[in-house]
Amino acid sequence: MLLNLFPGPRWSFRALLVALCLLPGWLSAADMGNCLLCHKYPGLSRIDQSGNMKLMFVNEEIFNKSVHSKVKCEGCHADITKIPHEPAKPVDCLAVCHIIEPTSEQKFSHKSVKTFMDESVHSKVDKEGKLKKYNEDMPTCKDCHDNPLFRPLAFVKKVRPGIADDAMGRCRVCHEKEDFIFRFYNHITTRLHKSRSPLNVAEACGKCHDDKEMVKRHGLTIMAGSSYQETFHGKAANLLDESIPDCLDCHVVKGKSVHQMYGNDDPRSSTHPNNRGAICNSVDCHPNASVQFANYQVHPVFDKEKSPFVYWFTSFFYVLTGGTLLPLMAILFLDLLRRLFPNASFKRRK
């Protein structure tokens, strides 16, 4: 669908088409409505009434490497039908958009996500369908997702991030549209591994789960993100290990999606005490590990009340380290000071 750019009578649809064809290469497939005419400018911004910055800039180069690159602007921003337009309304992520899902040949929609979410621990309503207390804290799409970017992998020679040109060459044998090849390659290889680095996942969850107030409000016992960082897993994630488990690897039931997460006390949950062992000794992680291996505290906190054993054990080492090194530092300091004035002393022994 093309936007009717110029509602005035002077501008015929045909003239517009001609104009679009003549425009240089930066006009992407998604931007059929020529929205980038304005939205390509990084300065397209304002400060709203409550003092928040609104940025209307769309970085085309990055957008074209996102999973939504084929979706037209108006596919999501459905309220905008002409240029110039009124301030855009918030996008409804569950809207039926204009992409055809190839297997069902139906129009595509994220609607199933809502069904999943309503079942999950992150739903706004409880089992009886009543709104939960503090339901405004529960995440909506954009709390976790920004526009997901492709993270292509190359496999041909070795597994590495990026695109394998040799593989693309094979696609070109049968497929003509460069745009399709690029997107298909990116889509598949992005889906074959983590769509976000473990560090980014931990950060996304940490937005709420490391928020002191929220953690307290919802009666959670630990700060999930920061305690994750205390383990080898979190530390390796900090150093950009991709194979290390992040929040989702343990908290999402295998074969399901992140939107179907359950609380630890739910028997369906992967982190329910009965199911925990199976996470750790999965074939990709610690095969042959015993069930009690899963008793490892993946969220250790240094807190006397919450985990006294960890507290006392860690404190012992703190005291040992500090108690050894600080006196030694003092001696070192005094030794240096003594060397500064080697000949001075209160009492001389003759």
Partner 1 sequence: MAKYPRIKIINGEKYFFRFDLDLRIQHIILAATVVILVLSGMPLKFSDAFWSPYLYALFGGITMAPTVHKITGAIMLLLFSYHIFWIFKVIYNDHYLPMKREGTFTKGKFAMRVLKLPMVPNLKDLRDVIDLMKYLFYYTNVRPDGDEYTWKEKFDYWAPFWGMFIIGASGLIIWNKEFFTQVIPGEFINFCLIAHSDEALLAGLFLFIWHWYNVHFSTSVFPMGTVFLTGYLSEELMCEEHYEHYVKVMKAEGYEKEILPPHGGGHAPSCSKHAPKGGPGQSPPESPSGTQSSEHLVKEGGAAV
Partner 2 sequence: MKKLLTKLYILAFMALVVYFGVIIWNLTFAHIIHEYHERNAANTEHTEESLAQKKKDDKSFEQVILKSEKRTKHYLGYRVLEQQYIKGHFHHIGYDVGPDRHSYCSSCHGDMPHDSVTKDLRAFLNMHAFFIGCQTCHARPEGEMATGVYQWYSRETGEIIPSPVNDAPPGTYKAKIIPFIMENGSLVRIDTQAKIDFVEQYRLNEKELTEGQKSKSKSIIHNVVSKKPVICEECHSSENPLLPLADLGYPKRRVDSITSTEVVGMIKNYTKFYMPKMLNPGVSHPVDPVEPLLPVEPAPSVPEDENLPPVDRAEG
Residues 194-223 that bind partner 2 (CB under 8 A): 196-197, 199-200, 203, 216
Q: 262 phi and psi, to 5 degrees?
A: -120, 160
Torsion angle in degrees (nearest 10) through CA of 279, 190, 160, 245: -20
Q: Amino acid identity of 103?
A: T
Token readout for 28 is 């992407």
As a whole number of angstroms, the distance between CA 260 and CA 317 comes to 41
- Do residues 167 and 155 make contact, with C-beta atoms less than 8 angstroms apart? yes
> Tokens 């999930």 identify what position?
224
Nearer to partner 1, 19 or 331 (CB): 331
Under rule CB under 8 A, residue 283 binds partner 2? no
Nearer to partner 1, 59 or 292 (CB): 292
Q: Which does 12 bind (CB under 5 to 8 A by kind): partner 2, partner 1, none?
A: none
At closest approach, how far in Å is the CB of 350 from partner 1? 6
At closest approach, how far in Å is the CB of 332 from partner 1? 6
Token readout for 50 is 């409550």
Q: Which does 229 bind (CB under 5 to 8 A by kind): partner 2, partner 1, none?
A: partner 1
Spatial CB neighbours of 14, under 8 Å, sequence gap ≥ 6:
none
Residues 15-74 that bind partner 2 (CB under 8 A): 19, 24, 34, 37-38, 40-47, 49, 51-59, 61-63, 66
What does the binding site for partner 1 look like in residue numbers (CB under 8 A)? 229, 231-232, 234-236, 238-241, 244, 281, 286-290, 292-297, 300, 309-310, 313-314, 317-318, 320-321, 324-325, 328-329, 331-332, 334-335, 337-339, 341-350
At closest approach, how far in Å is the CB of 162 from partner 2? 4
- Do residues 226 and 211 make contact, with C-beta atoms less than 8 angstroms apart? no
